[in-house]
């Protein structure tokens, strides 16, 4: 068991011995710094936009709340009577039909 593990470790280490050092293009570090700075600027812009959106929503909510006028209470009995009259609905007792 230990011999198998040791063999696998040795094969892995031998594979690392044959590897070459990774090379980067010139000015890689400068380009990386520029990209990181541009990303941080875009994140700052996104945060400002998010805060502006939240403030706009709060202002709209407060305006709607300030100018809100409650609707008159509806009398459902009157509405039902008007519907019966308007659509010529005969009043049917549903319990009688279920019993039949």
pLDDT at 94: 55
pLDDT at 49: 93
pLDDT at 95: 54
* Domain spans in the chain, listed from the N-terminal domain onward: 2-72
Token duo for residue 26: 């010139």
Query: Residue holding tokens 């959106």?
Result: 53
Q: What is the pLDDT along the chain (100 residues), one digit of tens a residue?
A: 778 888 888 888 887 777 788 788 888 888 888 887 877 778 888 899 999 999 999 999 999 999 888 877 888 888 888 887 787 766 665 555 555 5
Contact predicate 53/60, CB 8 Å: no
d(CA 60, CA 66): 10
d(CA 6, CA 82): 92
pLDDT at 96: 57
Query: Residue holding tokens 């308007």?
Result: 86
């Amino acid at each position: 068991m230990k011999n198998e593990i040791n063999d696998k470790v040795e094969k892995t280490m031998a594979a690392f011995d044959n590897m070459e050092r990774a090379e980067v293009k010139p000015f890689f570090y400068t380009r990386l710094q520029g990209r990181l700075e541009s990303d941080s600027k875009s994140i700052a812009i996104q945060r400002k936009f998010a805060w502006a959106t939240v403030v706009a929503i709060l202002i709209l909510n407060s305006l709607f709340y300030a100018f809100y006028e409650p609707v008159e209470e509806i009398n459902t009995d009157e509405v039902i009577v008007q519907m019966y009259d308007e659509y010529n609905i005969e009043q049917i007792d549903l319990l009688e039909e279920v019993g039949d």
